[in-house]
Structure formats: structure tokens, C-alpha cells
Amino acid sequence: MSDDTLPRVAVMGAVAYDVIGKTDKIFEGNGPGLNCKVTAQQEFFGGCAGNIAYGLKLLKTPCLLLSLAGTEDFRRYAQHLNHGLSGVLSVKGMHCAKANIITDPNGTQFTAFSPGPEVDKATWATHLQNQPFGSMDIFVCAPFPIPLMQSALEITKASNPNIFNLWVPGQYADSMQADELRIAVKACDLLVGNAHEIDHIKRTAPGCLTGKSVIETDGARPVRALLSDGNQRTLPTPAVSPVVDPTGCGDAFVAGLIPTLMQTFDSLDSVPWEQKINAIVRAGIQQAGLCLTQRGSQTYLRR
């Protein structure tokens, strides 16, 4: 890069306000059911892209945040994050996305998500085409409406064939059809998802992950890294205390990966990033652990 002040990372996805509460009711497989009493409700800054941008800020890794926001209530969020906001497209008269998150005594979460402002694929494509992807190393595609994720992964590669596309489909994964999954997977260099999401992708679009690198999380269970060359690594997640709130831990994990991943790009020994996968995953696990000890997704601090 000719200008060291420009961010080397772009993060696309939602910014939202999270309303987080607890319940004493144990969730069944399909959610909390009726008459779920909620306690300790509180609002926090959230949204997957906002959470990742917050984590990168703590790790002193500037990023360009690409998102949609409502003019009615975004100012407070912008003041809180206070960096990388030039890529946020504000929609007049709209409110930001909002997530109502309830956690049961086992740490299982149920989320009702209001997506907030929406734009069509062409409008978003125009917005992306005005972004400086040519000078960037990493594009993080966090959960966002399916057509926008697909086009973004393709636009970034067209703008910069050397950019590293990290795709985090999140809650949209199990809503995607086989052809949609194949398009997105083809354009990504690394896929990060939880066990449920990865299982859905494998069942819905068999073979689409062949030759791809995948990092699979599973709560407190070990993290699995399935590499493009067929090798597999399993890394334990150390016990964390106190365990307060799992909200945003997956996003903190993704943020934690990125600086260590970037170091492999800067290394003079020309070692492929996959050979540093243990260090990359451990950095993500550490960041997720910090988030787990605090309530909310953007309240933890770097130690």
C-alpha cells in the first residue's frame, strides 16, 4: 500500500442495537415457546459487522465498515464506534436494525431480529464499487441479506483479485439454497461458521466446500479448522471465568483472527497462511473469551 493511513480491512454486515435479556425457562430445540418471562433486559450496541469493527478497534486494526443504518437513531452508534464509518450508507427516515436476544440458563440463545434499512442489490453494488478494495488485504463478509453478500464477494474479487475474502454467513446460512451457497463459497477464501451453519451448507450444497478452508466453532467445544489441502486441526477452547453472556462471542472470534492472519501476509518467509492456522485460531479464541466475560458485544476490553 502506498498510503499507510488507509485501512487494509473492510467489514460488511449489520450494525444494530441489541436488547439482551435472560430467562429462567430452558429453551427447547425450536426456541423459547410461549410465555417466556424475561429479566435483566438492557440495550447494547451490536450487529455482526459493528461487533467485528469494535473488536478490530481494540486490536488496533483500522477497518472500513460497510453497512446500512437509519438516520433516525444511528448518531449514537457512530459516536460510540468513532472509526471506519465512511462506508455506512444511511437511509433517511429509517431506524437501525435491532435484535432482541434472550439467553436461557444453559447459555442457549433465541434471537428475534429486525433487519432495519434495506436497499436493492443494484444500489448496494454501486456503493461497493466506490470503495477502495484495490488497496485492501482482507474483506470480511459478515451476515447480511443474501443477495448483498453474494454480490459483495464477487465485486471485491473483481476489484482486487488478491483480496482475501473471509465469509461469515451466520444466521443467513440455513436460509440459503444450494445455488446461492455455491456462488458465495466459490468467491470466498475462508469460511467461518458454527457447527449448525457448516452442517447445513454441507447437506444443502454437497461438495461445495471441497478445496476450501473452513473454521467451525461449536460453543465451548473445540474449534475445528478444515484446510483446503485436506488437513484438519482441532484446538481446545480454554475455560473462561466468569461466563456472563455469549452474545457477540462469534464476532469477537472473527475479529481476533484478522490481525494474526494479516501478519502472515506481511511475513517475509512466504509461508502460506494455512500453516499458521493454530496461531490464527487461538487469537480468535482469546478474543471470544474476553467477550464472554462481559454482558453485551461491545463492552469487553483488551487485556
- State pTM to two decimals: 0.93
CA distance 285 to 296: 17
Q: Output the nine-digit C-alpha cell for 303.
A: 487485556
**DSSP result, 224-238:** EEE-TTS-EEEE---
**DSSP result, 80-134:** HH-SS-TTEEEETT-PPEEEEEEE-TTS-EEEEEE------HHHHHHHHHTS-GG
Phi, psi dihedrals of residue 177, rounded to the nearest 5°: -85, 170
Question: What's the pLDDT at 3?
Answer: 46
Question: Which of 83-87, 267-271, 288-292 comes out lowest in average pLDDT?
Answer: 83-87
Query: Would you list the domain boundaries of the chain?
Result: 9-14+48-89+119-292
Question: What's the pLDDT at 261?
Answer: 96
Share of the chain above pLDDT 90, in %: 82
**DSSP result, 61-81:** --EEEEEEEETTT-HHHHHHH
- The mean pLDDT value of the chain amounts to 93
Q: With bands split at pLDDT 50, 70 and 90, how would you rate the model's confidence at 113? A: confident
Q: Give the number of C-alpha atoms closer than 13 A to the C-alpha of residue 138, restricted to the C-beta side.
A: 29
Q: With bands split at pLDDT 50, 70 and 90, how would you rate the model's confidence at 84? A: low
Q: With bands split at pLDDT 50, 70 and 90, how would you rate the model's confidence at 1? A: very low
**CATH architecture assigned to 9-14+48-89+119-292:** 3-Layer(aba) Sandwich (3.40)
The closest alpha carbon to 196, from 177, 176, 171, 220, belongs to 171
DSSP-derived secondary structure letter, 52: H
Structural Rg of the chain based on CA atoms: 18
Tell me the per-residue pLDDT of 7-42, one tens digit each, with 9 for 90 and over.
999 999 999 999 999 999 899 877 777 788 998 899
